[in-house]
Amino acid sequence: MIVDVGGPISYTDHGGPPDAPILVLVHGIGACQSNWDEVAPRLTGHARVYALDLPGFGRSPSAGRRTTVAANADVLGRVIGLLLAEHNERDLVLVGTSMGAIISILLAAAQPHLVRGLVLIAPPWPPARHVRINRDVARSAILGGMPGLGELLVARRLARIPAELRVEHAFTRASHNPTNINDILRQGAIANENLVTDGGLRRVHDYLSAARSIVRTMARGKAYWARVERLQKPTLLLHGVHDRLVPVAQARMAVHRLRLGTYRELDAGHVAHMEVPHEVAATIVSWLATVGGNARH
């Protein structure tokens, strides 16, 4: 399905009870809505579930739109506005993973009236002095942040490495046990990588624009923490204890800055929604039962 928000946004309506709260699933960087295909069906008995592709990812071309986290938070807010109008202002919860979690935080801080609550899965946090950052993550951030060099490296990778192998590399890096990610999710990820290949330099630019904006946002730690601490929404923070991209120690510190935070750890890496979708969905459903009333004000 497509909605026009300054350009096309591809999304899937997974269904759900007509009077249930709305859940909007927001993917991470380099990912797409199909990453949620094992979580979404486990939620539809309790919520009306939507998943979307942000501009520059999946089947939503950037179409002249910026792909920074701030720009995509604005687009997400416009999509949510349309959903709330369609569903008579029902409660809406954002479920974001990694970059999608950052975007969810930015939107909830800027437009708190749009959302009832947040589910954040493995979000990056500003660096802490006593938490060691993964060397590969730091190296990628440095090289990707160099204008020209970042574009060259990503374009060369797309040209030289087949989509299937790129997906396996990503799963090995991001998951605790890649074999836990089933064939449905693998095929969805491969299809997405083929779209990236077909998009050429445009997709390279979209990806790096998003990646560089994440680095800038985290570098402005004081301003970002101020947004986090202003959140007055029930927030469920989920983090894999084996996450090599965002150390679990960061999540354990961050939860204390969430005014209405609930924290759960999972036996997974950075992509818990793909490794242990049943556990992620069950935890969200249990948490939803504790979030009552209407808090969009």
What six digits make up the tokens of 180? Answer: 């836990």
Radius of gyration of the chain from Cα atoms? 18
132, 149, 207, 246, 269 from 135: Cα distances, Å: 9, 19, 20, 11, 16
65, 102, 124, 186 from 53: Cα distances, Å: 14, 15, 20, 17
According to the model, what pLDDT value does residue 150 have? 85
According to the model, what pLDDT value does residue 292 have? 64
68-127 pLDDT tens trace = 999 999 999 999 999 999 888 789 999 999 999 999 999 999 999 999 999 999 999 998
According to the model, what pLDDT value does residue 294 have? 42
Reported residue count of the chain is 297
- The DSSP bridge partners found for residue 51 are 12, 25
According to the model, what pLDDT value does residue 208 have? 95
Contact 48, 77 (CB under 8 A): no
Q: Residue ranges of the chain with pLDDT lower than 70? A: 292-297
Please, what are the domains in the chain?
Answer: 2-288 (3.40.50.1820)
According to the model, what pLDDT value does residue 87 have? 86
Sole residue written with tokens 């990646």: 211
Count H helices and E strands in the chain, helices first: 10, 8
According to the model, what pLDDT value does residue 219 have? 92
Say if residue 4 is exposed, middle or buried (CB neighbours under 10 Å; 0-12, 13-18, 19+).
exposed
Say if residue 246 is exposed, middle or buried (CB neighbours under 10 Å; 0-12, 13-18, 19+).
buried
According to the model, what pLDDT value does residue 163 have? 97
What six digits make up the tokens of 59? Answer: 């089947």
Say if residue 147 is exposed, middle or buried (CB neighbours under 10 Å; 0-12, 13-18, 19+).
exposed
Say if residue 218 is exposed, middle or buried (CB neighbours under 10 Å; 0-12, 13-18, 19+).
middle
Under the phi-then-psi rule, with left for phi > 0, alpha for psi from -120 to 50, and beta for the rest, what region is 15? left
Overall pTM surpassing 0.85 (yes/no): yes
Whole-number Å distance between alpha carbons of 153 and 277: 32
8, 16, 166, 217, 250 from 220: Cα distances, Å: 31, 39, 31, 5, 16
Element (H, E) at 52: strand 48-52
Sole residue written with tokens 């990778």: 157
